[in-house]
Chain A
Amino acid sequence: MEAFLDGFGVVTEPQNLLYCLIGVLIGMVIGVLPGLGPAATMAILLPLVITVDPISAIIMLAGIYYGAQYGGTITSVLLRLPGEASSVVTVFDGYALAKKGKAGTALGIAAIGSFVGATISIVVLSLTAPLVAGWALDFGPPEYAALALLGVLLVATIGSGHPVKAMIAAMIGLLLATVGRDAFTNAPRFTFDSLELDSGLDFVVVAMGLFGVGEILYNLEERYGKPHVPAAISNIWPSRKDLRKSSGAIGRGSVIGFFLGVLPGGGAVMSSLAAYAVEKRISKTPEEFGRGAVEGVAAPETANNAAATSSFIPLLTLGIPANASMAMLFAALLVLGITPGPQLLEERPDLFWGVVNSMYIGNILLLILSIPLVGIFVRILRVRPAILAPITVLITVLGAYTINNSVFDVFVMIAFGIVGYLMKKTGFEPGPMVLAFVLGAILEDSVRRSLLIFDGDPTGFATRPISGTILAIFLLVVLSPAIKVLLDRRRAKSPETAPVEQESDVSSK
């Protein structure tokens, strides 16, 4: 409790407040601008951010992530262009409301929903995270190996894109993580006699390449120079009737978002889809959905913020990032010399509670930015992407150079940028690759330590209760496509018995 209150002391230090504000502002802006997502932005800014105090750095990076969830709404509603993937479903009803001249209502409801969802999620996070961390303190290498493996698998299978492709990307990420000297035998691997590769690939450089440069190059090819003329907005405060109508959606969206956010690979995108689907299903007037139902804006926007917040739980308590943006935070923590994991809460309570509590402040700031000050962000839409592109290029290249004052790093980053671009073109998501790359060292380390513990007997993983359970879930996820095919076949024979299995289909993807 004391540590929790001290956390507020940490947040309210002027420097941290300032970084929180900068973080959420950047988040809002990149959320509004289609193109760079939060993970790419965090990757690009990592080299600059890690020069400041660790707590301020993490507070700012976190702000970028949840701030982007607020900003993404604005373009969905006004232009029918989702600024972020997690605001895609908001397009349906948000844009319909805007066409009716109720853009202000949509943005207002979305902002209030976002705030409520995020705040509920932070409260639950504050209460549950210490419990999870305490429970995970007993985890040994086998549990970590199983957990990291499950994390990589879930991110690959639940995320967007074809699961086999995502798994390949993840596996190549694990392989890339082995470049450099082996920590156990000190033998060089995949270094091709290059001194620069001896210490391995720097994950900040790899992430900046795959996410940052990859997205910059990809955007170069796409939809440049489209004129956007945002509609004028007025009356941003929603009426009491609209609020009453959407209060249920906001409540349910918070719950759905919280739970799906904790799940590796789940996060903001899936929860916004699920929350929208639930609202439409239980609504008495489902025909209004897609034609400007306020619930259709409230539910996904609440859920994506609740999920964005709760996805911090696996990172801060287990040291396992749940999605690409969390992988960037994970990387930042490692670079700053802090190992995320169950011991974080005990060893660095100032950091843990500082970051968690900064989210309360950050969300209040975002509520202010997105209701009274929303006009400013609408104006940002008039900035042409062509003007921002070279600026991002410069930040990226100069940033990569400054990590180790090395031009070699810049070339590695460019190489991975080209790989990232080609992956996007051929339908491979770079996200799982980066995440697996970040987890790669931990995974290999835990597997080999476990083998030492088990004296070379791999069945040891299955016989320990926690690692065994995690591996059982792992197998279930791996085998679920096969099980699904079998069920589908049986269903094809008897079409009447279909709906029973549907729920599990959703959650297993």
Chain B
Amino acid sequence: MSEDSGRSTGQGEFLADLEAEVAHDLEEHRPPAGGPAYQVVGALVALAVGVVGAVLAYGYGLGTLRRPGAGLWPFVISVVIVVLAVILLVVGRKLEDSERFTRVSLLVLIGGASFVAFAALLPTIGFEIPSLLLCLLWLKFLGGESWRSTVLVSVGAVAAFYLLFLYGLRIPLPHLF
């Protein structure tokens, strides 16, 4: 809403100022904006989704309005996505609502990988050992906790989940013990 830059002191103006102030306040805690490349890539991804969606939906058969085929609805939506993505490509280049990837973003990569590893191990060796390892990784290496609190929280959490799922909620999780 920051594009409002009239001189008047109307209600809307005031609210816009207030929102700008709030946004500024929050920005202090945020990494720098990503720049035009981020915006263009975002719009292109949306465009690709729209185009692929439209092509696939066309293949499912459009039918007629009287007898719509399976593809008509997704086709219409995909076309709208394409149109919006093109608009975004044109008007969105200068937006500053993206955030630059920094070295800290590597933490997210590690975090994401730990999710995948956990899910892969869960059905084969049960949830206890993967849970312990995941806690260890997140507390000690991603969170920078001391060894003492890492061990305490990890063991405590796994024990609590064991009791909660297997005894409290009686949900059959794959488990070793």
Q: Hey, which chain B residues are within 8 Å of A498, CB to CB?
A: 6-8, 10
Nearest CB in chain A: distance from B170 CB, A: 8
Q: In the bound complex, what is the Cα–Cα distance between A397 and B122 (angstroms)?
A: 10
Q: Which residues of A contact B (CB under 8 A)?
A: 48, 51, 88-89, 91-92, 161-162, 164-165, 167-168, 171-172, 174-175, 178, 182, 184-185, 187, 189-190, 213, 216-218, 220-225, 273-274, 276-278, 280-281, 384-387, 389-391, 393-395, 397-398, 401-402, 405, 407, 410-411, 414, 417-418, 421, 424-428, 444, 447-448, 451, 455-458, 488, 491, 495, 498-506, 509
Please judge, given known A-B contacts A394-B131, A427-B42, whether A164 and B119 are in contact too, CB under 8 Å.
no
Please judge, given known A-B contacts A172-B49, A390-B153, whether A427 and B98 are in contact too, CB under 8 Å.
yes
Given known contacts A397-B119, A402-B173, what 12 new A-B pairs fall within 8 Å (CB)? A51-B169, A88-B26, A220-B142, A221-B108, A222-B31, A224-B144, A277-B14, A390-B143, A427-B38, A427-B39, A427-B98, A458-B65
Please judge, given known A-B contacts A162-B97, A390-B135, whether A502 and B38 are in contact too, CB under 8 Å.
no
Q: Hey, which chain B residues are within 8 Å of A425, CB to CB?
A: 34, 38, 98-99, 101
Interface centre among B15, B18, B78 (most CB of A within 10 A): B15
A506 touches B11 (CB 8 A): yes
A213 touches B81 (CB 8 A): no
Nearest CB in chain B: distance from A109 CB, A: 20
**Which chain B residues (38-84) contact chain A, with CB distance < 8 Å?**
38-39, 41-42, 46, 49, 53, 56-57, 60-61, 64-71, 73-74, 77-78, 80-81, 84
Please judge, given known A-B contacts A168-B88, A393-B138, whether A506 and B18 are in contact too, CB under 8 Å.
no
Closest to B22 in A: A88
Closest to B172 in A: A405
Q: In the bound complex, what is the Cα–Cα distance between A67 and B92 (angstroms)?
A: 37
A221 touches B10 (CB 8 A): no
A221 in complex: contacting residue of B11, B61, B105, CB < 8 Å: B105
Q: Hey, which chain B residues are within 8 Å of A92, CB to CB?
A: 21
B139 touches A387 (CB 8 A): yes
17 A-B contact pairs sorted by A residue (CB < 8 Å) = A164-B84, A185-B70, A221-B31, A277-B14, A386-B144, A390-B135, A390-B139, A390-B143, A393-B115, A393-B138, A394-B157, A397-B119, A401-B119, A402-B173, A488-B6, A502-B13, A503-B11
Q: Hey, which chain A residues are within 8 Å of B31, CB to CB?
A: 221-222
Q: Hey, which chain B residues are within 8 Å of A506, CB to CB?
A: 11-12, 15
Interface centre among B42, B87, B123, B149 (most CB of A within 10 A): B42
Q: Hey, which chain B residues are within 8 Å of A165, CB to CB?
A: 42, 88, 92, 97
Closest to B90 in A: A164
Q: Interface of chain A, helix or strand or loop or mixed?
A: helix
Please judge, given known A-B contacts A280-B14, A394-B134, A398-B127, whether A217 and B111 are in contact too, CB under 8 Å.
yes
B122 touches A164 (CB 8 A): no
B49 touches A393 (CB 8 A): no
Q: Hey, which chain B residues are within 8 Å of A444, CB to CB?
A: 73
B7 touches A495 (CB 8 A): yes
Q: Hey, which chain B residues are within 8 Å of A168, CB to CB?
A: 46, 81, 84-85, 88
B66 touches A456 (CB 8 A): yes
Q: In the bound complex, what is the Cα–Cα distance between A501 and B4 (angstroms)?
A: 12
A387 touches B34 (CB 8 A): no
Q: Hey, which chain B residues are within 8 Å of A402, CB to CB?
A: 165, 171, 173
Closest to A174 in B: B77
Q: In the bound complex, what is the Cα–Cα distance between A394 and B84 (angstroms)?
A: 37
Q: In the bound complex, what is the Cα–Cα distance between A189 and B104 (angstroms)?
A: 39
Nearest CB in chain B: distance from A64 CB, A: 18
B15 touches A456 (CB 8 A): no
A189 touches B74 (CB 8 A): yes
Please judge, given known A-B contacts A428-B42, A498-B6, whether A273 and B19 are in contact too, CB under 8 Å.
yes
Nearest CB in chain B: distance from A295 CB, A: 15
A222 touches B29 (CB 8 A): yes
Q: In the bound complex, what is the Cα–Cα distance between A398 and B64 (angstroms)?
A: 45
Q: In the bound complex, what is the Cα–Cα distance between A393 and B139 (angstroms)?
A: 12
B112 in complex: contacting residue of A162, A217, A225, CB < 8 Å: A217
A89 touches B22 (CB 8 A): yes
Closest to B5 in A: A488
Nearest CB in chain A: distance from B168 CB, A: 9
Q: In the bound complex, what is the Cα–Cα distance between A401 and B41 (angstroms)?
A: 33
A451 touches B108 (CB 8 A): no
A387 in complex: contacting residue of B115, B119, B143, CB < 8 Å: B143
Q: Hey, which chain B residues are within 8 Å of A411, CB to CB?
A: 116, 119
Q: In the bound complex, what is the Cα–Cα distance between A172 and B153 (angstroms)?
A: 39
B74 touches A88 (CB 8 A): no
Nearest CB in chain A: distance from B177 CB, A: 16
Closest to A81 in B: B29
Q: Hey, which chain A residues are within 8 Å of B157, CB to CB?
A: 390-391, 394
Interface centre among B99, B104, B137 (most CB of A within 10 A): B99
A162 touches B92 (CB 8 A): yes
A281 touches B135 (CB 8 A): no
